[in-house]
Structure 1
Amino acid sequence: MNTKRSEEMFDKACRLIPGGVNSPVRSFGNVGRKPIFIEKGIGSHIFDVDGNEYIDYISSWGPLILGHQNPLAKKALLEAMDKGFSFGLPTPVESEVAQLMLEAYPCMESVRMVNSGTEATMSALRVARGYTGRNKIIKFEGCYHGHNDALLVKSGSGALTFGMPTSPGIPKDITKNTLVCTYNDITSVKACVEANKGEVAAIILEPIAANMGLVLADKDFLCSLRKICDEEGIVLIFDEVISGFRIGFGGASSYYGVSCDMACFGKIIGGGLPVGAYGGKKEIMDCVTPSGNVYQAGTLSGNPLAMHVGLAQLTYLKQHPEVYVELEKKIKKLAQGFDAILRKYKVDAQVVQMGSLMTIFFTNQKIRNYQDVCTCDTEAFSKVFIKMLDKGIMMSPSQFEVLFLNTCHSDEDIEKTIQAFQESIQELYA
């Protein structure tokens, strides 16, 4: 596979941009390759600057659930651009998107648009602290909630990939109020709450953890968190930046039947354009300025371009619940195909799948938390990733991320991917 132009562009980018990329997750350094530079995407396929074509399982890290250049989203974007790019003043479409989100999440009664998932989680925690008058928060090892200071402690995603669970540049005075527990271990949470009685403002977690690979929460664990928060006056925050509107129209909250006090969302509500949101019970959200005194602002929040595209995508997903059924059917076929190949060649690996999300973990350890994920053979993953890439399959370039299906993935795409995986594993393990 010729990647000469991508390599040249990366060399140039390295002279201009830290590490040559504008987000660590785009770096291919962990798999021993230089990143691929993309020219365009159509449906379930992307094309790089060298003319190579790939079946895409990144889908812009989740939001392109309807595929690249979806006609509905494209039409909405062009119509919005005809009216203007940004006003810094209210527009009707903001309330339309908010209404759809509140319908999807009955536990939310009010929602505020922001510009990213990171901004959403940062803001939600500030509001929770303002609402409760407490300072401490509980998060879980391996859960990634964006790169804000208070949460970049034992996190997943890029931080886990690069072996940096914590980061320089963050004062201890900030992280001293961040308490870390073990995912799916309610005993660790009870002990932490008891040791910090009356001091914990919020518990934040990914109800479907997808930033240390796909780690599924036990329903009993989520129900117990709900009970603890009710008893102790703690705000329960679900970070649904990945799972929201992708696992189902009502996200993980609906899937598990467990309500939260606040929820955070990312770029899927903008159809892939930069956007985020956080929402919750009215009494909590009424603390946000200008209704209350917890300050949060953003000049581009509720940007009309993102809102129009988001409205088109969310409306379609609401009107077509069969989308989620079809996506799960396709990814189960992919997961079962991969699993059969791994067992045939006796590879120490397993497939975890939920909804339209999937991860191949190169370990035999049952995956329930961060410690289990850390037993993975990252070198084995890298070898398989490179083999698949050379066969035209673009997976997430990290053991600790997930594969995202979109509605444009055809049966032929799935079959080609399984065949490429069969060849890759055979070449490495036969």
Structure 2
Amino acid sequence: MATLKASSLVLNSSISSNSKQRGSRIRATTQIANRVSSISLPGLEQMELHKSTDKNLNPIHIETIKRNESNSRPDPTVMMKLYAILEAVADRVEMHKNMGDQRNNWNSLLLTSINAITLTAATMAGIAAISGGALAEAMKLSSTAMYVAATGMLSIVNKIQPSQLAEEQRNAARMFKQLQNQIQTIISIGNVADIDIKEIMEKVLALDKAYPLPLLGAMLDKFPANMEPAVWWTENGEKQSRGNYQGYDNGWNGELEDEMREVVNVIRRKDKEDYLRLGGKALKLNKFFAISGPVLTGLAAIGSAFVGSPSHGGWAVVLGVVGGALASVVNAVEHGGQVGMVFEMYRSNAGFFKMMEEEIESNLREEGLERRENGELFEMKVSLQLGRSLSELRNLAAAAAAGGEGIDEFASKLF
């Protein structure tokens, strides 16, 4: 009896263990099947979505989607090129910043030195007029030598305009910093192609040409015949879709196009025209000061050379002293007031509005809406560049449409 009981216990335990194993296997198989179905179904839905999309979109949109899918993993070589450009741009930011600080120091040191030399020469000319003998001759010769040196230094300083050079380098550092941020944004998005490398290279070279570092042979003309806006951007070429497909309209409609047309008209008639007018006045004033300073010190040098002469004593003293004093005043106003920097600031601002004008018109000329920059994003960028909210920008366009050319409001609220 004990043997039979033991056998029945063993048999029951084996049957129960086998049934548990079969149950666990069934549950495991069911779970795996559920997982496979949960993974495969979205893939099938995605395939069906692509099929329906391919039927509804034209070939241009299909090609855009395929290019975006193929560019999900950027080419390592393209990324290496982009990082190399990023390093070069970061280096240019530092170079232009350091060069701007150096040329700003030039302006301060040369202004102080030339004014000190000029006033000392005027003082010596006055002392020579009231003294006699060897002291008068020494003072007269020293005054003449210092005036000649001041004339030469003024001619060089007025030619290169250190304050204007410093402003150019500050603008260049800001533009390269902006380009550096754009490259970092492109890297973050990850959708990088060869066309992006070419476009960024052209921007770097355009900035190098617009704001050169060397003085000899490459320095911008500080006294152009006419006031022209600064140009540091490349010509607007064929726009490329970056994978932000928003539908056929791409955020554009007739109302937005009319708004942008009115905004660009205000920019052209008011903002850009005003800065060109102010820049022209600053240019004329700077030319007058640049010629007057060396002329006054040169006349003062001639006057100091004739101090003590019996036939020319009176007017020589007046010319030697007054000419030096006036030259110091002119030099202080020109370089202490940084008239060259003011001219460059107006030129750069006029260039900024010209760039906005060309960018807006380039988008409006593009007939293929899918090739334009997204309309909502573009409107937001324009409003930020002008220092306005979206509602203020639309109100400006409405006022310009109602008032025509008689509108008194400027487009920009920043400067």
Q: TM-score range by the shorter chain?
A: under 0.3
Select the structure that is richer in strand: 1
Select the structure that is richer in helix: 2
TM norm structure 2: 0.21
TM norm structure 1: 0.20
